[in-house]
Amino acid sequence: MISFTSCNDDKISLVRKKIGMKRNIPAQREYVSSDTSLPVKEKTVEEITLKEEFAERNYLKERLAQSEAKFKVIAESNMIGLVLWNEKQEIVDFNDAFLNILGYQRQEVLKERFSLKELTPPEFWEADERAYRQMAKSGSCKPYEKELLGKDGQTVPVLVGGAFIEAEDYRGISYVVDISERKEREKEKDIFLGHELKNPLATIKGFSQLLIKKLEKRGDVETVSYLKKIDKKVNHLTKIINDITDLSRLRAGKMEFSDELFSFDRLVKELVRDFQASLIDEHRHEIVLEGQTQKKIFADKTRITQAINNLLSNAVKYSPEADKVVVRLSSDESSLQIEVQDFGVGISKEDKTKVFQPFYRSVSGKKSSSGVGLGLYITERILRYYRGKIEVESTLGKGSIFRVTLPLKIKERKKDELYSLII
């Protein structure tokens, strides 16, 4: 059971530091109150100093005892797993909640003298190392998700955090929260979004397109126009479902990326052509493509297309009175850039700090503009994965420029890096 075993001077010094007391108290001191060599005034001052120091020591011991009692209640309540570890990150003590998460008996863990690394799958070692460096720098680390290896060999998804502790027998403490139930609910939500909603929409879209083709041959222009509106709304709803699914995957660290080498110029040219073709009659915008990069990039073509399409969609949506959107390409030795400029309502200074937040929608656009406010958030997360960045310049009433910079050389990633994308 996790416990503190003594009230030594190291622990008293720690408590003093925590509550702001700076004066050092010697571990042992001997005083002779009957010292006749000191004047009466000096002996009185010495006695007062002794009383103050003894009173302070007793006060600190009381504070430490209270702190230990509170900690013991938390540890023994087993609301969350708690682990104490030493300089070698070997587990030296823990509570029952931690054992229950992994399925071990107490003596098994004590006998094996497990290290935190031994209980962690290799793909999460780098995330643990980053957390340790953060603790070394600031004393604690932000909570992050990872997996631990249970006794049965199965992985357990957990939320962990930690802090350094100045103590004789251990170096730090970590808390461990089993998030298996939450992960299962997220999985069920993904299944619901992917099958219960997307499958019926795919059926509706398939039949509506079939009807459009048949009725176009018959010359039924009016009915075709209604069916095209249905098809447009189906596409819109499908995009919303896809965005919500991507948000769920980002938060779970499960966004999938399949990298390949491709021409960036060719990709942009094709998606600009396709996006232009998708604009219906109510949009007068011409998508103007300027410049080139003459570069190839190793990335997920689908995700990069998704990011740029989100920028084009926003540009059209928030420039209802304009007649064009400009896409500019450029590059240097280390990176490439793509700018998407609109000539619409613009973004206020206050809104510029919020546009990349999930579910945020600017009040500057049309009342009829659709979406749930996830496009720019997902775009920023995709670019972050590729060590890229996105910046925005905007003037109210004149329009906005979204500038994306992507490095040409990106080091190989490991699975745990997906967790840096979590909110």
- Confidence tier at 133 by pLDDT (50, 70, 90): very high
Domain segments of the chain as ranges: 9-179, 182-252, 260-421
Q: Among 8-12, 151-155, 239-243, whose mean pLDDT is lowest?
A: 8-12
Mean pLDDT of all residues in 55-75: 62
Average pLDDT (43-60) is 66
- What are the tens digits of pLDDT across the range 291-341? 999 999 999 999 999 999 999 999 998 998 899 999 999 999 999 999 999
Pairing of strands 286-291, 296-299: unpaired
Cα–Cα distance measured from residue 403 to residue 383, given in angstroms and rounded to the nearest whole number: 11
pLDDT of residue 288: 96
User: How large a percentage of the chain has pLDDT more than 90?
Assistant: 43
Helix (H, G, I), strand (E, B) or coil at 232: helix
Mean pLDDT of 338-362: 88
- Picking from 283, 363, 275, the residue whose alpha carbon sits closest to that of residue 312 is 275
CB atoms within 10 A of CB 145: 21
Q: Is 82 helix (H, G, I), strand (E, B) or coil?
A: strand
**Selected residue with higher pLDDT from 141 and 66:** 141
Q: How far apart are CA 233 and CA 244, in angstroms?
A: 17
Mean pLDDT along residues 70-89: 74
Task: Please say if the pLDDT value at position 75 is more than 70.
Answer: no
Tell me if the pTM is above 0.85: no
Asked, colleague to colleague, whether 9-179 and 260-421 share their fold, the answer is no
Q: Count CA atoms closer than 13 A to 256's CA, side-chain side.
A: 3
CA distance 326 to 289: 6
Q: Which CATH number fits the domain 9-179, given the four candidates 3.30.450.20, 3.40.1010.10, 3.90.1150.10, 3.30.750.24?
A: 3.30.450.20
Average pLDDT of the chain? 81
| Beta-bridge partners for 405 | 337, 389
pLDDT, mean of residues 24-39: 47
The answer on pLDDT for 120 being more than 50 is: yes
pLDDT of residue 367: 46
Burial class (CB in 10 A: 0-12, 13-18, 19+), 282: exposed
CA gap 84, 93 in Å, rounded:
5
Whether the pLDDT of residue 97 is over 80: the answer is yes
Residue 92, pLDDT > 50, answer: yes
Q: Is 80 left (phi over 0), alpha (psi -120 to 50) or beta?
A: beta
- Contact between 155 and 136 under an 8 Å Cβ cutoff? The reply is no
- Report percent pLDDT > 70 for the chain: 75
Check whether domain 260-421 has CATH 3.30.565.10, yes or no: yes
Count CB neighbours of 30 within 10 A: 4
Is 50 exceeded by the pLDDT of residue 22?
no
Q: What is residue 351's predicted lDDT score, i.e. its pLDDT?
A: 86
pLDDT score recorded for residue 60: 65
pLDDT tier at 282, thresholds 50, 70, 90: low
The pLDDT tens digits of the residues spanning 140-196 come to 999 999 999 999 989 999 999 999 987 666 688 999 999 999 888 877 777 777 677
